[in-house]
Amino acid sequence: MAMRIRSPYRAAITHSEEFAEDPHCVCFRHPAIPYAQGNLLIILDGNDSAQGYLHHETARIACAIIAGNQWDGYLATSPTAAAIDVPPHGLLTGEEYYFIVPHRAEAPVESLGQSVSLAVPCGIKLTSRPAPHPSQNTNSQPNAPQPGPYHYPVVPHFREWVFPNGKLPGTWSTIVKRRSPGVASTSETTRSRDQCCRMTETVEETDVAHIVPLAEEAWFSRNHMRRYGNKHASLRPGINDDANTMLLRADLHRSFDKRRFTFLPKKQGAVVTHVLESESLRDIYHNVELNTTYIAPEYLLARFAWTLLPLLKDFLRRGERRLLLIQGQPQWKSPAECSDLAEPPSKSRSASPTKKSRSPSKRSWAEMEDGKDYVSQDSGDETISGDGMDEPQYHCAKRARRGRSPTPRQATAAQLPPSHRPPTPPESGGEFVPSPESVASTIGHHRAVMA
């Protein structure tokens, strides 16, 4: 019987016919910032129809997150227009919209005898009093109503975003979640529960991916996200809870961590993959329903914010003063400060030149399972000292403390007669200067040994 050679594989199955070749780039602007001062917040691609349109509710929730969880905000075609007449799961056919926060959240902030009307984000108490922007009306009286739309503050990046505990937007609250039956570690529970990649049903080469990234553990703790885990309160492992993990194919895990796609609801209770960049990923996975039965919707919302907020970089780098939401408080920031906030400092352990990356044997199971989250943090070159210079005496001392045999240099010094040994520095104060006699004696001894 002859061996059969199979024909080559065709290209991967795609849904490219469902997307426009040139989708709309839908712009979302701040209604209280003049056009000349750069009021463009973000741009999203219209990938939700063959005509290049964008899902209305996805865009509205994205803008609400940027405005500090203003879930009752709405989209309009101009700064003073009424809300657009499009149902939540309808499509945005235009290319430019303004996100407007209703007047119910007015909070006048006085500074230097003037006031600025602000919209207070959900769950935030306004205690600081930021200085008004120069474009504000200088003739207004304290607590006087301001004409026009609110100048709401903008969240500059994820670590400044306050999670809306107990106040999920309507569509997200319809996501059905069940508690995981597993009681073992997160890695074992996730693998036995999912068994394959949740996006592709692939069994081989899968990773345990975190919804809220491991690098954001400080944010996770600060916002009390532990409460949404699957385990009993006394057993919840925090950010490593299996309600915050899922199996993804290794290459998709990398794309996930590069913020190329996220997961969000686009109809009642159904969660789909939403691709923000990469045409190839869009053609295969965009709007494909995902099994997230055991994933907490709160973690999915946090992931959406983590993926979305870096899109504000151009807004922050525009060279204008901005009213930003810092640690839950609105503050005016200079152009230089805004530019710095566009790139929050990394918490990578390799940032310090005096620290070495941990060996694989000392890493936790979470680091080994979620390689992408930790490789980027642990990939610094090893350094010996802060200035990068080798210090043999320091290392010899370490060897001696650990009970190791002395180095050749140590052994040679120990065998010298007392009169020929290198002089010992003084124990306290003053600069040590060896005597000419001791230097000449030491040199003479070495020459005799070499001869």
The alpha-carbon radius of gyration of the chain (Å, integer) is 30
Q: How far apart (Å, rounded) are the C-alpha atoms in residues 311 and 43?
A: 8
Q: Classify residue 148 as left (phi > 0), alpha (psi -120 to 50) or beta.
A: left
Residues near 407 by beta carbon (within 8 Å), at least 6 away in sequence: 392, 396, 399
Q: What is the pLDDT averaged over residues 274-296? A: 87
Residues 6+ apart with CB under 8 A from 360: 368
Flag whether pLDDT at 412 surpasses 60: no
Residue type (1 letter), 269: G
Is residue 195 left, alpha or beta, with left meaning phi > 0 and alpha meaning psi from -120 to 50? left
> What was the pLDDT predicted at 320?
94
pLDDT tens column, 42-87? 999 988 888 889 999 999 999 999 999 999 999 999 999 999 999 9
Q: Give the pLDDT confidence score for residue 11 in this predicted structure.
A: 55
441 contacts 418 by C-beta, under 8 angstroms: no
In the chain, what's the furthest Cα-to-Cα distance? 98
- Mean pLDDT of the 305-319 span: 95
Confidence of residue 159 (pLDDT cuts 50, 70, 90): very high
Assign 301 a pLDDT band (cuts: 50, 70, 90).
very high
pLDDT of residue 344: 59
**pLDDT confidence of residue 172:** 86
Q: Comparing 378 with 161, which gets the higher pLDDT?
A: 161
DSSP-derived 3-state class of residue 214 = helix
In whole numbers, what is the pLDDT of the chain averaged over residues? 73
Q: Tell me the pLDDT band of 207, cut-offs 50, 70 and 90.
A: very high
d(CA 424, CA 422): 6
Higher pLDDT, 86 or 395: 86
Distance CA 198, CA 315 (A): 35
pLDDT in tens, 322-363: 999 998 899 999 999 999 998 655 444 333 333 344 444 444
Average pLDDT over residues 229-251: 80
Query: Chain-centre distance of CA 305, in angstroms?
Result: 9
Query: Which pLDDT value is given to residue 258?
Result: 94
Q: Can you tell me the mean pLDDT for 215-219?
A: 94
Minimum mean pLDDT among 179-193, 202-216, 299-313: which range? 179-193
- Tell me the sheet residues that pair with 333: 322
Q: What is the pTM of this model?
A: 0.69
From the CB of residue 146, how many other CB atoms can be counted at a distance below 10 Å? 18
Distances (CA, A) of 173 to 170, 232, 265: 5, 22, 10
> Is residue 298 within 8 Å of 163, Cβ to Cβ?
yes
Tens of pLDDT along 3-39? 877 777 665 555 555 666 767 799 999 999 999 999 9
pLDDT of residue 192: 85
Q: Which residue has the higher pLDDT, 418 or 39?
A: 39
User: What's the pLDDT score for residue 28?
Assistant: 97
Percent of the chain scoring above 70 in pLDDT: 59
| pLDDT tens-digit readout, 86-105 | 999 999 999 999 999 986 54
